[in-house]
Amino acid sequence: MASIAIPATALNGTAPLPGRTREPLPDRSASAWRNALLGALPMPEIRLLLPFLVETEIRAGETLIEQDRAVESCHFIESGLVALIAFTGDRKPVQVGMLGADGLVGAPAALASEQSPVRAVTQTRCTTSVIPADRLRQLAAECPTLRTLVLGQLRNQFRQSTRSAACIARHSLEQRVARWILDVSDRLGRDSVELTHDFLASLLGVRRASVTCALHVLEGERAIIARRGQLTIRDRTRLAALACAC
Ligand SMILES: [Zn+2]
């Protein structure tokens, strides 16, 4: 997977960033932000962040942050989904979280300069407001609401990763695939999800053949329709009955 190319000026954290400009501040209410965290910030704190936020369009399958590497940029997700993936010692990947327009990619870096515990990969096409991590860290130290929201984000990601560990240990692959399809559908607000069996296998940490088998089971139950590169929910109630309760 290729890394997203962020302009060099977006990484140094010392100057306002080039890129798509925002609407003038007096016309911009908090509700104009699609990202829930930015939308919850009071105007004085938004005024401090605004010069450093750059709206960026990103294709599906791009790596925003690499595991065990320093975080250079943080992303407030405006639209789309980002998968948080952890690698085992033998480099086997497994999804440990999913962020949408309620999320901040690189949240730990907003509090401390540490290596990322996960890889963050765009699961769909995304729009994000990107900010240099060191600049966000500086602003989080100055802005009490931003700091509180970042802490809430970390609690949410911790909950997701613990739930994911329990799910992997206790539930069948068919249950996990059904849960995954429902979660993605709910977050995207539509019944169809574009992705390949290979990508889903990498997210769930299993072989492609196992994913294909699980999808055949869900299709046999008439809960989904699986086509090349696309999954569609056929019967949401049936799919929910086949999913684990995670
Ligand atoms: Zn589960």
Average per-residue pLDDT in the chain? 86
| For residue 83, pLDDT beyond 50 | yes
Name the pLDDT band for 31 (thresholds 50, 70, 90).
low
Please give the distance, rounded to the nearest whole angstrom, from the Cα atom of residue 170 to the centre of ligand 1: 7
Please give the distance, rounded to the nearest whole angstrom, from the Cα atom of residue 140 to the centre of ligand 1: 34
What CA–CA distance (Å, rounded) separates 9 from 163? 38
| For residue 180, pLDDT beyond 50 | yes
Q: Which of 90 and 106 is assigned the larger pLDDT? A: 106
| For residue 33, pLDDT beyond 90 | no
pLDDT of residue 29: 53
What CA–CA distance (Å, rounded) separates 194 from 123? 9
Ligand 1 ion: residues within 5 Å (CB): 167, 171, 244, 246
What CA–CA distance (Å, rounded) separates 57 from 144? 29
Name the pLDDT band for 30 (thresholds 50, 70, 90).
low
Please give the distance, rounded to the nearest whole angstrom, from the Cα atom of residue 194 to the centre of ligand 1: 22
Domains of the chain, with CATH numbers?
Answer: 9-167 (2.60.120.10), 171-242 (1.10.10.10)
pLDDT of residue 72: 95
Q: Lay out the sheet containing 119-122: strands in order across.
A: 63-65, 119-122, 82-87, 93-99
Q: Which of 102 and 10 is assigned the larger pLDDT? A: 102
Tell me, letter by letter, the H, E, C secondary structure of 78-99: EECCEEEEEECCCCCEEEEEEE
Please give the distance, rounded to the nearest whole angstrom, from the Cα atom of residue 183 to the centre of ligand 1: 12
Please give the distance, rounded to the nearest whole angstrom, from the Cα atom of residue 4 to the centre of ligand 1: 31
pLDDT of residue 37: 96
pLDDT of residue 229: 86
Report the predicted TM-score, pTM, of the whole model to 2 decimal places: 0.82
Q: Which of 213 and 30 is assigned the larger pLDDT? A: 213
pLDDT of residue 23: 44
Amino acid at site 110: A
User: In the numeric block, which tokens belong to residue 29?
Assistant: 């209410």
Q: How many CA atoms lie within 13 A of 147 on its CB side?
A: 10
Give 68: exposed, middle or buried? Use CB within 10 Å, 0-12, 13-18, 19+. exposed
Please give the distance, rounded to the nearest whole angstrom, from the Cα atom of residue 182 to the centre of ligand 1: 12
Name the pLDDT band for 194 (thresholds 50, 70, 90).
confident
Amino acid at site 75: H
Please give the distance, rounded to the nearest whole angstrom, from the Cα atom of residue 137 to the centre of ligand 1: 34
Q: Which of 180-189, 192-201, 217-226 has the lowest mean pLDDT?
A: 192-201
Please give the distance, rounded to the nearest whole angstrom, from the Cα atom of residue 172 to the centre of ligand 1: 8
Name the pLDDT band for 66 (thresholds 50, 70, 90).
very high
Please give the distance, rounded to the nearest whole angstrom, from the Cα atom of residue 171 to the centre of ligand 1: 5
Please give the distance, rounded to the nearest whole angstrom, from the Cα atom of residue 178 to the centre of ligand 1: 9
Please give the distance, rounded to the nearest whole angstrom, from the Cα atom of residue 246 to the centre of ligand 1: 4
Q: Which of 45-49, 86-90, 228-232, 233-237 has the lowest mean pLDDT?
A: 86-90
